[in-house]
Chain A
């Protein structure tokens, strides 16, 4: 069964740090880009960033709201994705999800269009930032 399980959430004081983990199973983790998404209480979904896989340079991208504070990493030998969160603020309180990203390309009107989507998600882990 394809599965993602997040862990590491909890209560942390403003300014503190927390490291979330996402354990993948049931698929070849190293083949995929992986993403982090969060949902604050009463709010919608917010994409935080992604890590590409090694054949695609193993690089990361971040949303502006977390760039410089959050770091995404992966360990393909452990089938695991991580989110290191530093300088936490009360507005970082949310449920944090990891998601597998897939893509395919389609030739249309003279060029290739790349379609990306997050097809497998975990159930999330809750982070509360409060004093």
Chain B
């Protein structure tokens, strides 16, 4: 199975800050990398697919980059609704695997 490692596991930031966090795969996954946002009691939300394709309705302050084994999610100008936990997921081959998550907290 492909192991996904996210860092950091948590970070504190203020509204308006720009934050980035990373996801590393145990082998090259050819941009087959998705990012999701989770909030308690809500349905998980797909933010980006194939590393950098922003989903319809997702604000442009979210962006993704990377290649090979290393990927980054950046949120420019954090908004109050962005405080949540973010997960990466590889879809290079099954079983699909997720990172352990990065929790973005209010400073």
- B contact residues around A69 at 8 Å (CB): none
Is A123 within 8 A of B43, CB to CB? yes
User: How large, as a class, is the contact surface on chain A?
Assistant: 20 to 34
From DSSP, what is the main secondary structure of chain A's interface residues? strand
- A contact residues around B36 at 8 Å (CB): 45, 118
Max chain B Cβ within 10 angstroms of own Cβ: one of A64, A117, A122: A117
Is B94 within 8 A of A50, CB to CB? yes
Taking the nearest CB of chain A, how far is it from the CB of B45, in angstroms?
Answer: 7
In the complex, identify which listed stretch (B10-18, B73-81, B95-103) lies at the interface while the others stay far away: B95-103
User: How large, as a class, is the contact surface on chain B?
Assistant: 20 to 34
Is B43 within 8 A of A45, CB to CB? no
Taking the nearest CB of chain B, how far is it from the CB of A31, in angstroms?
Answer: 18
- B contact residues around A91 at 8 Å (CB): none
**Contact status of A45 and B87, CB under 8 A, knowing A115-B49, A116-B32:** yes
Interface of B toward A, CB cutoff 8 Å: 1, 30-32, 34, 36, 38, 41-46, 49-50, 55, 87, 89, 91, 94-101
Interface of A toward B, CB cutoff 8 Å: 4, 35, 37, 39, 44-47, 50, 61-64, 97, 99, 106, 113, 115-124
